[in-house]
């Protein structure tokens, strides 16, 4: 049992495990991970850093916002989105693509998780006001393209959690939204935002 616990640190056990997996499945060893599905991983002896800098910069080109000015917050203080905002005709397909792109960005840019959940509520009938809020999120990300999750090698690992609720603040249906974040050591390990 002790061998299983320390397998990650034992190169002989790692090599034996990789060899047995390669005999059973068609696979190859690509070495240490540096880039995977849009996630960039930097690792050394004391830290891991996960970001999506290339993906973020590609978003700016995709949505033609290379020259926009950055915002310091992803949503204006006290801003409330509603279904009652007059829908005017525009390309809803673009709205949905922006929501999906931003949702993928929350893998490493978890500070926008809550505002993405807000704008995604209006995907069936978005208005120009909702599109404006999406663009504000993109402008916020423009100012923070190198944000990510930083895991430091700590001897003391402590579980810390934060939670928040707006207690029935939704204008549309008077439901509450809650958010929580949990870190283990130096970096976040789970986060959620739900209505």
| Domain membership of residue 181 as a residue range | 39-194
Is 101 found in the same domain as 6? no
Dihedral (Cα; 23, 24, 28, 32), 10-degree rounding: -110
Lookup result for tokens 């960005």: 105
Is 56 found in the same domain as 12? no
Is 132 found in the same domain as 53? yes
Is 14 found in the same domain as 72? no
Is 185 found in the same domain as 116? yes
Is 75 found in the same domain as 15? no
| Least confident range of 8-12, 27-31, 67-71, 81-85 | 81-85
Is 178 found in the same domain as 156? yes
| Burial (CB count within 10 angstroms: exposed 0-12, middle 13-18, buried 19+), residue 180 | middle
Confidence of residue 90 (pLDDT cuts 50, 70, 90): low
68: tokens are: 């926009």
Return d(Cα 155, Cα 183) in angstroms, integer.
15
Is 81 found in the same domain as 104? yes
pLDDT at 85 > cutoff 80: no
Is 97 found in the same domain as 68? yes
User: What percentage of the chain exceeds 70 in pLDDT?
Assistant: 82
Is 73 found in the same domain as 16? no
Which string of b and e fits 125-155 if b means at least 16 CB within 10 Å? ebbeebbebbebbbbbbbebbebbbebeeee
pLDDT at 106 > cutoff 80: yes
Mean pLDDT along residues 141-148? 85
- The larger pLDDT score, comparing residue 8 to residue 189, is at 189
If one counts the domains in the chain, the total is 2
Is 109 found in the same domain as 69? yes
Number of alpha helices (DSSP H) and beta strands (DSSP E) in the chain? 6, 7
59: tokens are: 């978003």
Is 100 found in the same domain as 19? no
Residue pLDDT, tens place only, 170-182: 666 666 677 777 8
Confidence of residue 3 (pLDDT cuts 50, 70, 90): very low
Confidence of residue 168 (pLDDT cuts 50, 70, 90): low
Q: What's the pLDDT score for residue 178?
A: 76
Return d(Cα 92, Cα 114) in angstroms, integer.
21
């Amino acid at each position: 049992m002790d061998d299983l616990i320390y397998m990650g640190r034992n190169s002989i056990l790692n090599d034996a495990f990789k060899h047995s997996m390669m005999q059973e499945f068609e696979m190859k060893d690509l070495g240490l991970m540096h880039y995977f599905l849009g996630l960039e991983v930097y690792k050394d002896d004391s830290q891991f850093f996960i970001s999506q800098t290339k993906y973020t910069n590609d978003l700016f080109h995709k949505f033609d916002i290379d020259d926009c000015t950055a915002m310091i917050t992803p949503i204006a203080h006290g801003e409330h989105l509603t279904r009652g905002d007059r829908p005017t005709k525009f390309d809803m397909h673009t709205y949905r693509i922006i929501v999906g792109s931003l949702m993928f960005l929350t893998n490493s840019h978890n500070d926008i998780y809550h505002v993405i959940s807000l704008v995604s509520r209006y995907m069936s009938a978005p208005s120009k006001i909702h599109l404006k809020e999406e663009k504000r999120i993109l402008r916020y990300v423009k100012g923070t393209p190198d944000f990510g999750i930083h895991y430091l090698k700590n001897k003391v690992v402590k579980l810390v959690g934060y939670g928040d609720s707006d207690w029935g603040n939704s204008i549309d249906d008077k439901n509450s939204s809650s958010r929580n974040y949990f870190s283990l050591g130096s970096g976040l390990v789970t986060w959620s935002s739900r209505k």
